[in-house]
A and B are shown apart, each in its own frame.
Chain A
Amino acid sequence: MALRVRDLSLRFGGVLAVDSMSIDVAPGEIVGLIGPNGAGKTTFINCVSGNYRADAGATEWHGESLFGKRPHEIIRRGVVRTFQNVASLHDLTVLDVVKLGAMMATDVGLGERLSAMLRSEQARNALLTETILRPLRLADVADHPLQSLSYGLRKAVDLARALAAHPRLLLLDEPVAGLTSQEGAVMSQAIRDARDRLGCSVVMVEHKMDVVNATCDRIVVMAAGAKIFEGTAAQVQVDPEVRRVYLGEP
């Protein structure tokens, strides 16, 4: 297994936000994490990516413990995340943000580093624009300030930043939520392409079930901080417990 999470728990005062979550992610697998609002999906992602410090449990990434490590240490190991609410940055352009992502890439070999140094700034920018921004339809806004873009485009920039960091595990927090169906289609295509091209694993929190069903190999359902079910899209749809949590059946 690439990612092994065991019995991860985090309590906010009286609320047990994440309750003994365990999850395995295989290399190259796309896992969907779904559940009703307040189920602890984002909190779980925050714990894995180091933004929150879990109270108990274990997080292993290719045998190495990530538990208690800080975000900049975790990102250096190829575990890169995106955010549900994209941050506001006033001074930076789209390309700046993607460059920041590219700086986090650590799997770049010495030879590649040297050749990158020899290349001019323009050439490096052009490379990032072509490989990262073009597939996400961001090439035309590369020099625009982030703040001037629509919500959907800003989410795409966040994904572009994560992809520029050469992720081996992508943690996506609602990449499609709030987007138009067309933007959503571009995003989910980009996620599958990234998996096929980089061979990375993906854990994706999402509410839009058509996207989840079309994108994910396996689905994990959370409710009240705990995992209540995992299986394929077809299995999830007929599971009585999942139906009860989502629809409130007796």
Chain B
Amino acid sequence: MRWALLTVVLLACGKADKDAAATPAAPGECDATGPETAPIRKLTQTEYGNTVRDLTGLDIEAESRLLKDPEAHGFDNNSALISVSQLQADGYMRASEDVTEALDLSAFLPCDPAAGEDACAEQFIGEFGAKAFRRPLDDTERGIFVDLFDVGRGLEGFDTGVAMVIQAILQSPQFLYRPEFGAGSGALVPLTDHELATRLSYLLWESTPDQALIDAAAAGALTDPAALAEHTERMLADPKARAALSHFVNQWTGVGEVHKAVKDGTAYPEWDEALGHEMQATSDDFVQSAVFDGEGTLAALFTSTYTWEGEERAGLLTQPSLMTALSHSNQTSVVLRGKFVRERVMCHELQAPPDDLDISLPPLDSSLSTRERFARHMQDPVCAGCHALTDPIGLGFEHYGPLGEWREEESPGVPVDASGLIVSGGELDGNFYGVDELSSLLATSQQIEQCFVLNAFRNAFGREPGPADQCSLDTLEDGFATSGGDIQSLLAEIAATETFRTRPQVTP
């Protein structure tokens, strides 16, 4: 059903369909087969930073040593693009040195080396190693670090030996990657408890498991779905889940670093980086509050109220960060705003304009409305093929200026007309006025729910879904609909899928 909805549209302006793509599963054939693929995951820059903070208690932003991760479909955790260059390896080395430099070793050690250096070092390697690798070390792994400790102690003494062990742990592939082997035999194998704990923790927190989760894994409890669900609930109540959820929403909406937006200083003297940061903080608060303190549904994300510059406003789509990012330096952008709704919210991918098209904007004219200035987009058939899909949606945002400020007039004497229209949008087709009506439409749409689930899948698994994931996606969509679009429940449902709890057997 989902595939049909997503492919029915946009014949005039659909994206390139390069090769034969995934074959949709026929309706009714859903059979939980588990994932066809489970490529290795690497800690993203964000995950690395969170993990180091949680492991050491240090707040030193060691992740600033790392290069940013490449993005695909808006998400920075795509496995297909894992590639550690020498500059990145250098970053890992320096970040690990930042950590040992900042650590108070005597307070960090679980033992007193005066009572026996070797025993203390081995105890530390076993305990810190297990936290960092998110599972107990085996003898070979432990032996490599014990040998390194001896070398380091020989060079400069006990503390140096321990520091070098920490540096090596933080550069080891078992730490930087999330290798999964599962347990048992068969084409599809269940993940081990520790692997499951790791997946859950990075899904909900973008960070390493806490002690309670490690203990549960060590006790072999997590393969019990009820126990897994209990931990999911516990972890969703932790502040770390709020930050991870905002990060997901920010990647989904693709707002990026709004404080770096360039605005016309004459028209918008109030614009500066600080205002951009304030916008981002407002959006993050809004998202976290809607999901964790309010109703918690996707609909609530589109319709919950918040305050900006003393005004009460509603929904994700009116966020000043979003409106600012989706504007030009001196005017709004009906194209960018409409394209955002199409691509990010509705999951319709549009083609870029032909390369030889003059896409420069019509000149500013304070006597004309944006609708009038961009009339050619709708009247010229060459333009309308695509712009009919974007502009009439974007025009619905016209009450929000280039900094997301509410306005009744575009310029003196030119009142805003925020009449909007959705075409080729299936169940969403029709007229609306302003963002509040648009948000209400989107809030109750099954198609929008499905798009959100697709993005949640991308974020959760670090890859695009394939045909074998169809059943899991269908299950997630059904569950999401049944829950009334509850976002926390969706995360819990993801953690409960076969796709999440199993992997194909590894054949080295």
Is B a genuine binding partner of A? no
